[in-house]
Structure 1
Amino acid sequence: MAVFVALFLAVAGVAGTLTATADSPEIAFENPEVDVAQGDTVQIDGEAYTVGVSETEEGGGGHGGAATTVISGTLEREFTAETSETRTNGSTVSVDDREWRVEIAGEDPAEFTLVEVLDRQAILEADDSADNQTVTSDDGKEFVLVTDESGETTSVPADEYFPEPEERSHAAGETFEYGGNTVTVGNVTADGAVLVWETTQTETIEVEHHSTVTVGDTEYVAHFPDASTLQMTTDIEAYESQVTEIDRFNQYSSGLSRVLILSVLSSIMLAGMAFIPSRY
């Protein structure tokens, strides 16, 4: 019995020593194409990206679980894109804080016209001598009732009372300010006019730890050595080989841990059995 106990303890000792002294392999990129820190700018496939790296806590809380630190990052770039918008014939647009109506004449037009839409109600309310609304005669004509200083009221035709609306014509290829942008008039048809301008847009690529990410036409695998550094490599095969090595190491470590536990328990069981009194 003592020999078996000693044997199991020896096996447990060897398993424990191997488990304690073994160095766990870690992911490490050799000569990565991208090796940058938080806030750096890096050129990838001819585009400039700004690197962002953040660290967050996940899990834990009030359920007794331990919180896990997760590191992730972003690649962000600004680029110029062409934007277009078609203004249909008869539609209303806002230019210089005023409303304008789009008017296009003819079947094969080369230009379109912006006709100011007068705020008749505001004009009437600003004139103390005029009623705040127009009147329409029996024959359909519209008038504005204006009272002079003597108290005499006169009916003024609406076309004479209100000012002529401003008109602005724009031909194909012409540029003008519209919506805070300098736009160019593109194709003009009887149905509408196309306005073209350039805008600055932002592209953000999310990067997760030990995940693949496509930037431009190239696929990378990402790795965060610490909470402020991002590495990316196109050698995905080498990364997968390291992952396989780590999995194999974990399997061996788990097996040795089971051997250690079983050996210790077996030693205790055998030692206990030695003290059981014999019936004979």
Structure 2
Amino acid sequence: MAVYVALFVLIAGGAGVLTATADSPEIGFENPDFEVSTGDPVEVGGEEYVVAEITEVEEGGGGGHGGGGGGTSIVGTLERNVTVEQSEAWANESTVQVGDREWRVETEGNDSNSFTLVEVLDRQAILEDDPQADNETVERDDGEYVVVTEDGESTLVPAEEYFPAPEERSYAAGDSLEYGGNTVTVDEVTADQAVLVWETTETESIEVTQHATVTIGETDFVAHFPDASTMQLSSDMEEYESQVAQIDQFQQYNSGLTRVLVLAFLSSLLLLGAAFIPSRY
């Protein structure tokens, strides 16, 4: 029985040594397509991104190939500016804000390719700014009037004479104007509306995590962070998948050795325990 105990101890010791000394393979690229840091450009197929930042972030739990559980993970951000076309339709008889004033939109029939902005007068503000005029107009049988008092004598002034004529601005398809902080172009005019278009610049961002697949242009890359300030991008998916397979194989091998270690140790204990059981014969 002592021979069997020694054999199991020897097996357990060998499995333990192999488990403790085996080096786990890790993901790594010898010749990545890009090896960049914060501020470096990444250009693929005419599309250029810039590495906006590479940071370490806290995470509640972890895992995966070449990583640990919990602690921190590394995240990179790629950014680029893209031009986006915007559009807006102004319906006939609607009111729009252009500059610091309001305007009424008036299209000019089915066959017209132009429209007119007619200033919407703030009649109440005009009356309040005139110390000689009442703050409200009055209605008479023959129309609307403004009461104006001069030298103690009140006079009814027709509203169309008192208020200034509203400013008008006409635009045709292809004309430009300032609107909402942008230079916009009249794209189309119909009997029902005028359509304006303009271009704005927006920032497009891509978040990159450890060993994630990132598509830039029409090319897929796998990302790897060898340290907290460097990002590698490789389009060699076969190399990456081969390394993942090696890591999986190592983990299976290591798991098998661990089971051998545990079983050999338990078997040794059982044999030792059996040696102290008194014989009935």
**Per the alignment, in what secondary structure is the counterpart of residue 277 of structure 1?**
coil
Per-residue Cα deviation, 1:180-222 (whole angstroms, up to 9, x for no partner):
1112222222222222221111111222222222222112222
* Pair 1:18-2:21 in alignment: no
Query: Pairwise mapping of residues 17-36 of structure 1 onto structure 2 (< 5 A)?
Result: 17-36=17-36
Q: Which moved more, 1:171-180 or 1:238-247?
A: 171-180
- SS of residue in 2 equivalent to 1:199: strand
Shift in Å at residue 269 of structure 1? 2.4
Kindly provide the CA deviation profile for residues 126-157 of structure 1, in whole angstroms up to 9, marking residues without a partner as x: 11221111111134x11111112x32211111
- Following the alignment from structure 1 to structure 2, what is the Cα–Cα distance between the partners of residues 207 and 116? 51
The aligned counterpart of 1:244 is: 245
Match of 2:58 in 1: 57
Question: How far is 1:7 from its partner?
Answer: 0.4
Q: Do residues 84 (structure 1) and 87 (structure 2) align?
A: yes
Helix, strand or coil: the match of 1:59? Answer: coil
RMSD of the TM alignment (CA)? 1.8
Structure 2 gap segments, 5+ residues each: 62-68
Among 125, 144, 155, the alignment partner of 2:146 is 144
How do 1:1-280 residues align onto structure 2 when only pairs under 5 Å count? Answer: 1-51=1-51, 52-59=53-60, 67-139=70-142, 141-148=143-150, 150-280=151-281
**Letter paired with 2:144:** E
Output the CA distance in 2 between the equivalents of 1:81 and 1:57.
35
Paired with 2:252 and 2:263, the residues of 1 have a C-alpha distance of 17
Q: Give the % identical residues.
A: 66
CA distance in 1, matches of 2:259, 2:132: 100
Distance 2:72 2:21 in 1: 26
Q: Distance in 1 between matches of 2:167 and 2:97?
A: 14
Normalising by structure 1, report the TM-score.
Answer: 0.91
Structure 1 position 171, deviation (Å): 2.4
Question: CA–CA distance in 2 between the matches of 1:67 and 1:25?
Answer: 20
Q: Distance in 1 between matches of 2:108 and 2:60?
A: 66
State the alpha-carbon separation in 1 of the partners of residues 103 and 261 from structure 2: 85
Shift of 1:253: 0.4
Q: Which range is displaced more, 51-60 or 93-102? A: 51-60
State the Cα distance separating 1:119 from its structure 2 match: 0.5
Q: TM-score, normalising length from structure 2?
A: 0.91
Secondary structure at the counterpart of residue 232 of structure 1: strand
